[in-house]
Structure 1
Amino acid sequence: MSGIRTLADALDAQIDSPNGIVFIDGAHDERGLNYRMLSKSAEGRLAVLQQQGMRRGDHLILFVEDNMRFLQFFWGAIYGAIVPVPIAAGATPAQLEKLVRVWRHLDEPRIVAAPKHIERVRDFLEQRGEADAAARLADTAFSDEPPAADQPAERPVLDAQDTAFIQFSSGSTGDPKGVVLSHANVLANIQAISSGSRFGADEIALSWMPLTHDMGLIGFHLTLVYNGFAHHLMTPDLFARRPLLWLEKAAETRATLLCSPNFGYRHTLRAIAAKGRPELDLSRVRLIYNGAEPIAPALVREFLDTLAPTGLAGETMFAVYGLAEASLAATFPAPGRGLRTVSVARGELGVGDTVRYDDSTHALELVCLGTPVAATEVRLADDNGQAVGDGVVGRVWIRGANVTAGYHDNPQANAGALMGDGWLDTGDLGFYHDGELVITGRAKEIIFVNGQNHYPQDIEALLQDLPGAELNKLAAAGVQAPSTTEQALVLFVVFRGHLEDFAEIARTLRGALNQRAGLVATRVLPISRMPKTTSGKLQRALLARQYAEGEFDEIAARLDTLLATEEAEQPVPASTDIAAELKRICDEVVPGRDIGVDDDLFEIGLSSLELAQIHEGIENRWPDRLEMTDLFEYPTINALAAYLQDEVAPA
């Protein structure tokens, strides 16, 4: 569109559009904002920010759970040339730690958050003995439901090269790595996404991806605003509790555009297996954007096959490659082409390796991710920066109008990524097959879990206060499961005693990881020594390869038997009728796991999605009696039963 040079221009251009956003808070609970209302409320939030003393170029951390409030503040900041910094809001130690690290990295800017979250992060710092920092942070924070300002907003003139917002690496609680994006960067990518998707005149979108993620914010909000399309936003928490509602709303709204990474398809399939496939019409769906983590072809095919009776076409799956450094999109296939894959031999996918195609059952199936989107270049380079030929693995470099100029105040990260002449090393490895990019993995050791990147050193740091997990005695690694690109998280612990004594360490580490970061360790395994390079770096990749090749199979089986025997020998205390109902709910969500009435739900390796499903089951039986956060206070079946019995008198 001509005349649009900034994101503010893009919203202003849609003020007279009949379309807007519907915020889905439940099956029958929705709120709406057309684009005129969004613009007006954004100006109101800008007035609040300016009354708080914020000016052009200031950073504003958005730690806001509610999607409508998030967008009102986001656009208010955009209108005022204030730089919004989205951070996923939550109550886990990992989420609070990330907020604190980003706040410090940005020199303690203002934070907008719900009062409960402000109180939580303040308590978090005080409990660490950082009372002064807690007080300063509380002084910089203000409520996401502020009173109206006394004076109207003053909108400055914006420039295309102004910083629009900063995206901090998802999933990392380590040193902040903020991708700085200008208005020009984001708009270039939006235009490329629009042309590469071959949008029609009246697309309708539905997303449950968080607005703190580039797919959620840029792909399923900003791009839709730019085009004036109607879109519907669910919260990730609602999707976690009710995945079938995603499909029901897609049918109800006649959505043409959907999106989800791997774990969303898996979660939906589990719900279908438990409750049956709903009778829906999904024939209007044109594209399902699949990215944010390595794509699992078998899972995609199962999802499409399961939903084929609803009219969902197999060609709707739109496997894409992107990253925050590219604003969002880097390569797209042809829309309507459907999933295309190639099978290659494992173990021969290092930089400079010539790919060996392999159709055997042991081969690795990888997804073809199309060609560069408009105004973007992709180069595959060897370790010396020289281009490699087709069928040869190289480092994936990108450059273009959509690519960031660098990371915020992070010389080390910039030195490692910026290659000169506009090129940026993504950290990914890949090769070209029939003209399409195929990603083989990460050059470094980032672990992909549930659509987010997790740095192994961050996971290790979260557990270093526990026995057996001291520095350099614990290694976290992402291990590629057979025949998929899905990764399992495995913890390796230096231990030289009897295996019987290791069982308690494994149980403690798995429980602590789940409680502190919401992650599930597939295995916790003892190793006699920690492999290191000559410079002293942990060789996580070596451990992962040994695990994938079966070197730990015997000890894993012995440990499984030991843990199962110990659990069977535990006495089962008497439980109330409420506890029996709660146990039934847990058993339905996690079949095959005999959860004891005094087992801590956060220490037995349940995923955050399974915990959300348990909460949904409780909500269905005792509506409005238990908040999701109450599970942290009453983490066992017996404790929950006592709470429901004594405190809320269940119906």
Structure 2
Amino acid sequence: MTIEQRFSGATALQPTPTTDALPRRMADFATLGEALDYAATGERGLNFHDARGQLSRPYSYAELREDALVAARRLIAAGVKPEDRIALIAETGPEFAHLFFAVVYAGAWPVPLPLPTSFGGKESYIEQLRVQLASCDPSMLIFPPELAHMAGEAARLVGTEGVDWSELATREAPDVPLPDASPDAIAYLQYSSGSTRFPHGVAITHRALLNNLAAHGYGMELVPEDRCISWLPWYHDMGLVGCFLSPIANQVSVDYLKTEDFARRPLAWLDLITRNDGNSISYSPTFGYDICARRMSSQTRASDRFDLSRWRIAGNGADMIRPDVMQAFVDAFADAGFKASAFLPSYGLAEATLAVTIMPPGEGIRVELVEETELSGHDGSANDNERPQRYRAIVNCGKPVRDMAVEIRNENGAPLPDRAIGKVWCSGPSVMVGYFRDPDATAACMRDNWLDTGDMGYMSDGYIYIVGRAKDMIIVNGKNHWPQDIEWAVEQLPGFKAGDIAAFAITTPGGEETPAVLVQCRSSDEAERARLHDTIRERVRAVTGMNCVIELIPPRTLPRTSSGKLSRTKARNLYLAGEIKPYELRAA
């Protein structure tokens, strides 16, 4: 059965083909518009699927370009000028796709903004949009009709024009000339998934973008039979750049699930991969693999439903990679043909457009066991030596992508030798111009064309190992502790899983710094909660040697970023503000 027959189901819809006669170019274009112009001469394109994974809308690159050019003329007729910012609610679908390129063709800068999340509700979402709109100062916010009330209110609060994209589609599109884009012009602004209170719009030029997209193509060693499958949101850099712009610039067909549909039916992602007769390329943060492994019933063989033998690249990025979770995924789906060698760890950030390092395809996940005191920078004092040695498995995140240089530096900015842990710095043509209208924030992380990523790691034989975010470090009595070590220790206890725990530093009423550990607890029994509290406290003390503040909180309380990552900073702020309310524990 061909992929066309498999996807068509009961409908007459046909997906765009995996292969066509158009010679592949690895993003060697001067501008993003040129990349779409070329892709549109072939037959590949984007394919949107419903919540059950059934094809609902094939959208060839030719059709995407045609719609984008018409919408670009509508925008120009509406007064949009080169370098205007046009904010777009990034719903996964043909409307956002062509509007993003319409803004590019019009010479303006698209600014993808998030959809609502389940955490925080209506007022929180309006406030998030308001803050990001105030930061990017757009001339227009374009949104799907179902979000008109919330997005329209956010636009009103900052005095910008709010436009329902279904209404925009009814406007006249006069035949006006489109501006010529320069490779060094800004292509778009990207807000990081956690940028809510103090947002930083990352400014990326066409030249930087195309350089990074070419690095994707070469790094993944693309072949004609490759097809991308994605559920990642388009308001996050891995979804926007890695799974929307990169396939266009490298001429790859894509199959999409909406992020909210993946959250409800995660195994539909694997159904799409199963239906692909070509090679599958699909990325996910660690939690995506985790939720799929957990959804597999112990009574069900994965091979009864899935065929994952053609999954060539199972990319992993956007958060700390958990080797135990990856192994659980292999255990759950090995009988369906999934190969551990398909895992492709990577490391990147929006400030570098996206990719900084990629594991060579086929090498899979490689880990090194590093002693905890080395990770935290302890000095080997007598107090340290009294504690048993504990190790953390650190995942190899690959080698620098084409044209990218990576250095590990100490606090003074001096390069460190192999296997010494320090700040990760990178430099290359795809590093951002800077943060939009924020020279101070730009100067704080840029030095002589090098970017301070804010991450900690070490290099070994040309590969990079990431150990954590510098800002997440918990410093108590002059000693450094990684929150992951505390969180992972609690996760080893029965009844807890990845994402249930957040650790961060607080100041006690006595003025001392101490770790606080928030743990989502599912038990409604007060005696059981008291027992779990004591067990967790002793577990953390055994691992860290510290007495910590342990708080049990209701399930689904810990906040996450728009890309699904745990937000320790937001959890800390909500806890200190009294908005996260722990269970009261009564004495026995």
- Shorter-normalised TM-score: what interval? 0.7 to 0.9
RCO greater where, 1 or 2, for CA within 8 Å and sep 6 or more? 2
Aligned partner (choices 504, 515, 534) of residue 543 of structure 1: 515
Worse-matched range after superposition: 389-398 or 87-96: 87-96
- What is aligned with 1:347? 373
Gap change, CA 1:281 and 1:364, over 3 Å in 2? same
1:117 aligns with 2:147: yes
Q: Secondary structure at the match of 1:375?
A: coil
Show the 5 A alignment for 1:498-509. none
For structure 2, list consecutive stretches of 5 or more residues without a partner in the other structure.
Answer: 1-24, 475-480, 493-498, 531-552, 561-588
Deviation at 1:522, TM superposition (A): 5.7
> C-alpha distance in 1, partners of 2:400/2:215?
9
Mapped contact 2:85–2:137 kept (Cα < 8 A): no
Q: Does 1:414 align with 2:394?
A: no
Measured after TM superposition, the shift of residue 560 of structure 1 is 7.8
Is structure 2 residue 49 aligned with structure 1 residue 40?
no
Q: Distance in 1 between matches of 2:295 and 2:375?
A: 36
Quick check: 2:426–2:451 contact (8 Å CA) kept in 1? Answer: yes
Cα distance, 1:29–1:228 mapped onto 2, change above 3 Å:
closer
Residues 1:170 and 1:41: Cα distance change in structure 2 (over 3 Å): same
**Could you tell me how far apart the structure 1 residues matched to 2:132 and 2:193 are?**
12
SS at match of 1:86: strand
1:263 positional shift: 1.0
In 1, Cα distance between the equivalents of 2:49 and 2:557? 24
The 3-state SS of whatever aligns with 1:480 is helix
Alpha-carbon distance in structure 1 between the residues aligned to 2:174 and 2:377: 59
Aligned to 2:188: 165
1:529 and 2:509 aligned: yes
Aligned position for 2:137:
107
The question of 1:89 aligning with 2:115 is answered yes
Match of 1:573 in 2: none
Question: Helix, strand or coil: the match of 1:286?
Answer: strand
TM-score normalised to structure 2 length: 0.75
Secondary structure in 2 aligned to 1:543?
A: strand
Match of 2:295 in 1: 271
Shift of residue 149 of structure 1?
2.1
**Contact preservation (8 Å) 1:297, 1:484:** no
1:71 aligned residue: 97
Contact between 1:351 and 1:429, CA under 8 Å: does it hold in 2?
no
Report the Cα distance in structure 1 between the residues aligned to 2:94 and 2:100, rounded to whole angstroms.
Answer: 10
Q: Is the 8 A contact 2:230 2:255 kept in 1?
A: yes
CA contact (8 A) 2:483 2:504 kept: no
Following the alignment from structure 2 to structure 1, what is the Cα–Cα distance between the partners of residues 83 and 198? Answer: 23
Cα 1:438–1:53 shift into 2, 3 Å? same
Q: Which residue of 2 aligns with 1:22?
A: 47
How many angstroms apart in 1 are the aligned matches of 2:60 and 2:473?
Answer: 40
SS in 1 for 2:293: helix
* 8 A contact 1:22–1:31 mirrored in 2: yes
Partner-residue secondary structure (3-state), 2:48: strand
Alignment CA distance shift 1:122-1:227 (3 Å): closer
Give yes or no for contact 1:521–1:605 (8 Å, CA) kept in 2: no
1:239-638, aligned counterparts within 5 Å?
239-254=262-277, 255-273=279-297, 276=300, 277=302, 278-350=304-376, 362-420=390-448, 422-445=449-472, 479-481=483-485, 528-529=508-509, 531=511, 539=513, 542-543=514-515, 561=526, 604-606=554-556
Taking the aligned partners of 2:500 and 2:104, their CA distance within structure 1 comes to 37
Distance in 1, Cα, partners of 2:473 & 2:205: 26
> C-alpha distance in 2, partners of 1:486/1:178?
36
Q: CA deviation at 1:154?
A: 3.0
Aligned 8 A contact 1:396 1:430 in 2:
yes
- Kept after mapping to 1: 8 A contact 2:376/2:482: no
Letter in 2 for 1:266: D
What is the distance in 1 between the residues matched to 2:427 and 2:504?
A: 40
SS in 2 for 1:47: helix
Correspondence for 1:495: none
Is the counterpart of residue 144 in structure 1 residue 174 in structure 2?
A: no
Alignment of 1:219-258 (within 5 A): 219-254=242-277, 255-258=279-282
Identity of aligned residues (%): 28
Q: Quote the RMSD (CA, aligned, Å).
A: 3.5
State the 1:446 CA deviation. Answer: 8.6
The 2-side partners of 1:225 and 1:57 are apart by: 23
Match of 1:177 in 2: 200
* Residues 352-377 of structure 1: CA deviation (Å, up to 9, x unaligned): 989x9xxx983101101111111000
What CA distance in whole angstroms lies between the structure 1 residues aligned with 2:36 and 2:194?
30
Cα distance change, pair 3–134 in 1 and its aligned pair in 2 (3 A): closer
Distance 1:345 1:161, change over 3 A: same
State the alpha-carbon separation in 1 of the partners of residues 443 and 421 from structure 2. Answer: 23
Partner of 2:37: 12
Aligned to 1:463: none
CA spacing shift, 1:530–1:404, aligned 2, 3 Å: farther
- Distance, in Å, in 2 between the alignment partners of 1:94 and 1:274 is 39
Gaps of at least 5 residues in structure 1 are: 126-132, 448-476, 489-518, 533-538, 566-602, 611-651
Give CA-to-partner distance per residue, 1:91-138, whole Å, 9 cap, x none: 634433221111112235310012342312455x6xxxxxxx73654x
Q: Give the aligned partner of residue 134 of structure 1.
A: 156
Q: Which structure 1 residue ranges, 4+ long, deviate > 6 Å from structure 2? A: 351-354, 485-488, 523-527, 556-560, 607-610
How many residues align? The count is 485
Relative to structure 2, which stretch is displaced further, 339-348 or 142-151? 142-151
Shift of 1:152: 3.2
